[in-house]
Amino acid sequence: MELEGGMSVSIAHAARKDPAGHAAVVQDRASNEIHLRAAGGSEPLPFQPSDPVRLKYSQEGILFCWDARITSREDQGRRLVAQLSGEGITLQRRQSPRLAASIPFSFTVIEAEERSLIGEQAETRTQDISLGGMKFETNLPLKVGDKLALELSLPEQTSAKASGWVARTEAAEGGEGGQALGVKFLQLEARDQLHLLRYLAKLHHR
């Protein structure tokens, strides 16, 4: 797997405890030099020149990782240039399988390229879910990189809160308008992760 322009990736500081990461889009690549912009175009990426970072990209249940170092910061942090550290790529299979599940949840748009969408709230149901993210349909015209606050309603009066970013969009099934979104979790607290893990384990063994 090679990093290419247009890919949606997460970027995290390699030397700090930064499990959430930040959403970014690869704009261009020239040899080992990668040009990135903040997904959504609003919040700057909190990295400085010389910071070691790890880029992650997932596809079909496999996580691809690249180590890099920031070489320049532009547009107040909304654009970065990074130098890949050699050709080393780590491949990790999904630790939690993606399962078909219709879970009710609500979400609030907290960052969006279309600024008028910020603050919009909606309720819907998941189509599938794993510990890494989920898929659902919505009529809101969200774009790759937009950030959401999510609250899932799990059985036994439990819930799980998370933040996530839109990693991919596609036409909704049935051709009735709207779109299906693939959302990657950026942050899932330990307690909420445990609730979700228990639910997925029960679902997996049905």
pTM of the model: 0.63
**Domain termination residue (choose one: 58, 93, 128):** 93
Q: What is the Cα–Cα distance from 134 to 30, expressed in whole angstroms? A: 32
Q: Is residue 58 part of a domain?
A: yes
Is 199 found in the same domain as 185?
A: yes
Look at residue 5 in the predicted model and tell me its pLDDT. 85
Domain that holds residue 160: 99-204
Look at residue 140 in the predicted model and tell me its pLDDT. 94
Rounded mean pLDDT for each run of 10 residues along the chain, 206 residues in total: 81 72 86 87 83 81 80 91 76 65 94 90 93 92 90 85 88 80 83 83 71
Number of domains in the chain: 2
Look at residue 19 in the predicted model and tell me its pLDDT. 56
Residue matched to tokens 């390229």: 113
Q: What is the Cα–Cα distance from 58 to 93, expressed in whole angstroms? A: 9
Residues linked to residue 154 through DSSP beta bridges, in sequence order:
158
Q: Is residue 1 part of a domain?
A: no
**Domain termination residue (choose one: 43, 68, 93):** 93
Is 88 found in the same domain as 37?
A: yes
Is 154 found in the same domain as 105?
A: yes
Six-digit token pair at 122?
């909606």
Look at residue 70 in the predicted model and tell me its pLDDT. 95
**Domain termination residue (choose one: 93, 127, 161):** 93
